[in-house]
């Protein structure tokens, strides 16, 4: 392991602790309030390490959705991880198999973002240095994520009634989504998602959300393609 | 959560864990550094904004805590969260501002 590169990555990832800790604590509280045991709350956090998908699963479980719908919808939230995986592959694809597996386990939004930025700006890095940087940036995120969830779960039972804890998930998700709305295609995708989810609310097995999400993805992709085509035509004329 | 047995809950946890790992490992682990079709990437880019808004829209408009009646406390907290998120581009500012609005509104009108 390239130690100095590891610590470089660590310093880049460390500021995100201020996001991870409250987010993890809220998951601990929400999971416990929903009726999960401490082991189950920590099970989610250890095995999934993806806050948005974990919240989605717990929310659908409180709505008593069928098991396969809980799984499909939460996995849909995590489809973006496949995109991260795709964009990291050219930089890390030559690392040893076990390292690629370990990096996949620890792949979260923030460690992905700082690592890919570093790889783009420092093309001279070796594959070993890139791996060290990736692990360095993930360490200050993954470990506090475990600890914060545990703290939240311990705290969960101590929250007095009357506090609108049911609304922690909507607020957290709104806060996560809003900065993502960078282009007209993102806005359109979000609007289609909301409109169809509301219209199709009556569909059995909570299928409405899945249908809404697929249509929203197609909308975003189609608008992006149209914008790109228009830019090319303008460039040629 | 009475609808699920302990086994089912663990099935969901382990299933989601394995599925998420497969997604993270997909290109990095199995495809290596071969190129990925542009249309696949174009769809993947919109997954988060396609799923999360639809999940929370009914929770905001028809909260279970008020038996589905529109609720000024929760609506004002939602508006504050979005406004702060757009203005600051900062997730934490939006979360804490939204939560503060929720508590303040609950105290004033709730």
pTM for this predicted structure: 0.80
At residue A107, what are phi and psi to the nearest 5 degrees?
-75, 110
Interchain pair B16, A64: CB under 8 A:
no
Cα B57 to Cα A140: distance, rounded to the nearest angstrom: 33
First-to-last alpha carbon distance for chain B, in angstroms, is: 27
At residue A102, what are phi and psi to the nearest 5 degrees?
-65, -40
Predicted confidence band at A103 (pLDDT cuts at 50, 70, 90)? very high
ipTM metric: 0.86
Given CB atoms, is A175 within the 8 Å cutoff of chain B? Answer: yes
Chain B closest CA to A139's CA: distance in Å?
Answer: 17
Mapped onto helix, strand or coil, the DSSP state of residue A192 is: helix
Chain A closest CA to B1's CA: distance in Å?
Answer: 5
A72: which 2 tokens? 């499909």
pLDDT at A19 exceeding the cut of 80: no
Given CB atoms, is B29 within the 8 Å cutoff of chain A? Answer: yes
pLDDT tens, residue by residue, A46-99: 999 998 899 999 999 998 999 999 999 999 888 888 878 888 888 898 899 999
Predicted confidence band at B63 (pLDDT cuts at 50, 70, 90)? confident
pLDDT at B69 exceeding the cut of 90: no
* Nearest chain B residue (CA) to A19: B92
Considering chain A, what is the average pLDDT of its residues?
90
Partner residue facing B13 (CB), from A40, A75, A214: A40
Domain locations along chain B: 1-34, 65-109
Q: Could you give the dihedral angle defined by the CA atoms of residues B86, B87, B90 and B94, in that order, rounded to the nearest 10 degrees? A: -80
Interchain pair A22, B2: CB under 8 A:
no
Integer angstrom CA distances of residue A107 from A141, A142, B47, B100: 10, 9, 17, 31
């Amino acid at each position: 392991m390239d130690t100095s590169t590891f610590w470089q990555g660590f310093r880049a990832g460390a500021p995100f602790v201020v996001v991870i800790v409250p987010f993890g604590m809220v998951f601990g509280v929400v999971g416990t309030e929903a009726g999960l045991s401490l082991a189950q709350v920590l099970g989610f956090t250890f095995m999934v390490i993806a806050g948005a998908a974990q919240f989605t699963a717990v929310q659908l479980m409180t709505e008593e959705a069928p098991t396969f719908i809980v799984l499909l919808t939460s996995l849909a939230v995590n489809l973006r991880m496949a995109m991260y995986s795709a964009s990291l592959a050219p930089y890390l694809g030559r690392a040893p198999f076990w390292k690629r597996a370990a990096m996949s386990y620890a792949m979260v939004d923030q460690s992905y973002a700082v690592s890919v930025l570093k790889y783009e700006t420092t093309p001279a890095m070796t594959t070993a240095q890139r791996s060290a940087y990736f692990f360095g940036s993930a360490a200050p995120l993954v470990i506090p994520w475990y600890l914060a969830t545990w703290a939240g779960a311990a705290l969960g039972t101590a929250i007095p009634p009357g506090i609108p804890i049911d609304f922690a998930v909507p607020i957290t998700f709104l806060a996560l989504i809003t900065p993502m709305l960078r282009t007209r295609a993102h806005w359109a995708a979000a609007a289609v998602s909301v409109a169809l989810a509301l219209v199709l609310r009556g569909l059995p097995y909570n299928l409405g959300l899945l249908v809404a999400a697929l249509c929203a993805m197609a909308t975003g992709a189609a608008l992006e393609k149209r914008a790109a085509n228009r830019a090319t035509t303008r460039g040629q004329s | 959560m009475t609808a699920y047995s302990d086994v089912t809950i663990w099935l969901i946890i382990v299933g989601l864990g394995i599925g998420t790992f497969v997604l993270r490992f997909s290109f990095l682990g199995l495809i290596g550094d071969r190129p990925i079709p542009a249309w696949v990437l174009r769809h993947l880019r919109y997954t988060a904004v396609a799923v999360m808004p639809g999940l929370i829209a009914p929770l905001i408009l028809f909260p279970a805590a008020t038996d589905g009646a529109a609720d000024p406390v929760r609506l004002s907290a939602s508006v504050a969260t979005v406004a702060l998120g757009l203005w600051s581009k900062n997730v934490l500012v939006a979360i804490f501002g939204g939560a503060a609005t929720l508590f303040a509104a609950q105290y004033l009108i709730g």
